Amino acid sequence: MKNVMKTFDAYAEQYDSWFDSPEGKALFDIEVNAIKTLMKDIHRPFLEIGVGTGRFAEKLGIGFGVDPSPAALSFALKRGIITRKAEGEKLPYQDKSFGAVFLLFTLCFVKDVSKVLSEAKRVLKEDGRLIIGIINRDSVLGRLYMKKKAEGHPIYKHAHFYRVNELAKLIVKAGMTAEAYSSALCRTFPARPFKEDVHSCIIKKAGFVCVRSRKIDRGEKNGG
């Protein structure tokens, strides 16, 4: 995790500026729309684990964010996010503090995924929701990022990209149950910006997949 933090500290400005590129703007808008489809009937306050520079938090109205990178957090702070320097494995908040917790492009960088999900669950209110968004390893976009990883990209060389079925198993293991999904970036990844609809289901070859989960009610069986 220290190596990841150092990398994001070193590349925070470069990473953030990518979102202002034509490609970055196009992908960002599609991903935001995919996340928003899962935000109906969830209640503030919201927390993003791995808030980074705060691009998604600002757009989605997420008020609180944690990240281990001081350089990234400096951007998030300027975007109006209430930030704390912390890792997802040890959140500096009391139990049942948030109506929703977001993990967006974060799981691939954490060291102990089970602990992060356990902490996310701990700080959720009883009727809270966990929203996870991943780059799907089994997609054109996923293979592009896997190639970047193999080539030693300074950021993505630290990443472990997940398949959709792997994410589903992690959610079940965390004692939660998935209740809604969204998928985007389903077409062959183009060389130029584009627009694309968001699908309210899991599409196995989608580049970006989001899952909304909740705590299991007492006596309820987790069917995944």
What are the structural domains of the chain?
2-214 (3.40.50.150)
Task: Quote the pLDDT of residue 22.
Answer: 87
Residue-wise pLDDT tens digits, 132-181: 999 999 999 999 999 999 999 999 999 999 999 999 999 999 999 999 99
Query: At residue 150, what are phi and psi to the nearest 5 degrees?
Result: -65, -30
> Which parts of the chain register pLDDT below 70?
1-3, 188-194, 218-224
**Beta partners for residue 156, in sequence order:** none
Task: Quote the pLDDT of residue 224.
Answer: 45
Task: Quote the pLDDT of residue 109.
Answer: 94
Q: What are the C-alpha distances in Å from 160 to residues 14, 59, 113, 126, 206?
A: 21, 26, 11, 30, 17
Burial class (CB in 10 A: 0-12, 13-18, 19+), 207: buried
Cα within 13 Å of Cα(122), Cβ side: 14
Task: Quote the pLDDT of residue 23.
Answer: 86
Task: Quote the pLDDT of residue 204.
Answer: 87
Task: Quote the pLDDT of residue 187.
Answer: 75
